[in-house]
Amino acid sequence: MKNILITGGCGFVGTNLAIFLKSKKFVVNTLDNFNRKGSRYNYKILKDNKIKNFNIDITNLKKILNLPKYDLIIDCCAEAAVEVSKNEIDRVFNTNLVGTLNILKKIRKDKSKIIFLSTSRVYPLKDLNNLVKNKNIKKKLNLKKKFNERDNIQGPKSLYGFTKLASEMLIEEFSFLFKIKFIINRCGVLSGPLQFGKQDQGFVSLWVWKHMNKEKLDYIGYGGHGNQVRDVLHIKDLCNLILIQIKKMNKINNKIFTVGGSLKSYTSLVELTKICQKITKNKILIGKSKTTSIYDIPYFITDNKLVKKTYNWSPKKNIYDVVKDTYKWIFQNKKKLIKYF
Ligand SMILES: NC(=O)c1ccc[n+]([C@@H]2O[C@H](COP(=O)([O-])OP(=O)(O)OC[C@H]3O[C@@H](n4cnc5c(N)ncnc54)[C@H](O)[C@@H]3O)[C@@H](O)[C@H]2O)c1
């Protein structure tokens, strides 16, 4: 496999992957319509690396079918913010689900393969919320539960989570019907350089940015104590995994993997604040917003057992590395980044 198209390729994951795979001698193109603010910044980096971007809306089937032929499409295109899916239902459905359908039609036409970036948000809100006694989490959570490919997926999970799970199922249907080879990575939180975090998506980079700029933040939901827990996979670890998956795709395919920082790299918001204070040497005001969004979850830690056994891969970087590397990127580019955060 030589020619790769990365959809959502000017996003956080897409840009990191594009540059990484180009450095490994693949021919990489990206597709992105700059829907996300920071994507214009990332586009300049792609251009510097001589990576061509097609400014196409993923919902435009005609334009997608007219793109050159690729051996592999890595589908990283989505509206990735869970909260946005409450209000912008049509856009989220079209981008996340119709977008995947269009990519599958292109893959069918070209007889190529797909690697799909899915999410831990395919698991039902109820199962995640049932892990804690009530919505006022006063103390540090000390849970043992790790989520894997076999965990229950039945039940409301957010419209975002629905579109990603529906995309997973669509990929399986196309694979069954048209013999398309696929890999689905169901990822926990991903973070690192080139991520333009917002309160509801990309919280680690937002935390680093706010600490560096001495701006106020809020602990939102679950009583406003900041005790929610997430694992956070460093983007470098994800890139390394995808490279192995590409190399082995002819032999290992048609599988779903849960992929995340797991116990190597996880944090609560309170712990993240301490790490940011240490690394940026700044202390900021953090407010409390007690109300919990209907789409929020208190906890997520990934079980990497299957992906580890299959590829002999596990995360090498921890949450300190994620914060340190994000800090370094922001520190070196602060002035240029202001208008994108
Ligand atoms: N970042 C995470 O923590 C995380 C976790 C799990 C899964 N994922 C998945 O990984 C993938 C990449 O996420 P990300 O963090 O890089 O998100 P991102 O928002 O940084 O990147 C998505 C890119 O898609 C582009 N895009 C959006 N709508 C488009 C459209 N209609 N047509 C063309 N381009 C469009 C945006 O401009 C953006 O550059 C997504 O599929 C997301 O669901 C991300």
Per-residue pLDDT tens over the stretch 29-64: 999 999 999 999 999 999 999 999 999 999 999 999
- This prediction's pTM: 0.98
Q: What is the pLDDT of residues 280-337, one digit of tens each?
A: 999 999 999 999 999 999 999 999 999 999 999 999 999 999 999 999 999 999 999 9
CA distance linking residue 327 with residue 86, whole number of Å: 31
Q: Which residues pair with 211 in a beta bridge?
A: none
Beta bridge partners of 54: 31
Cα distance between residue 62 and residue 200, in whole Å:
33
Q: Is 168 in the pocket of ligand 1 (CB under 6 A)?
A: no
Q: Whose CA is nearest to atom 9 of ligand 1?
A: 117
Ligand 1 contact via 78 beta carbon (within 6 Å) = yes
Q: Is 323 in the pocket of ligand 1 (CB under 6 A)?
A: no
- Ligand 1 atom closest to Cα of 14? 16
Which contacts of 49-55 are long-range, i.e. CB under 8 A and separated by 24 or more positions?
49/18, 49/19, 49/22, 50/22, 51/9, 51/18, 51/19, 51/22, 53/9, 53/10, 53/29, 54/29, 54/30
**Residue 164 alpha carbon, nearest atom of ligand 1:** 43
Q: What's residue 200's pLDDT?
A: 82
Residue 1 has pLDDT above 80, yes or no: no
Atom of ligand 1 nearest to the CA of 75: 41
Chain segment 147-204, per-residue pLDDT in tens? 999 999 999 999 999 999 999 999 999 999 999 999 999 999 999 999 999 888 999 9
- The answer, yes or no, to whether any atom of ligand 1 lies below 6 A from the CB of 189, is yes
Residue 114, pLDDT > 90, answer yes
Q: Is 190 helix (H, G, I), strand (E, B) or coil?
A: strand
4 Cβ closer than 6 Å to some ligand 1 atom:
no
CA–CA distance, 144 with 262 (Å, rounded to integer)? 11
Residue 54 Cβ < 6 Å to ligand 1? no
Instruction: Report strand pairing: 266-268 vs 229-234.
Output: antiparallel
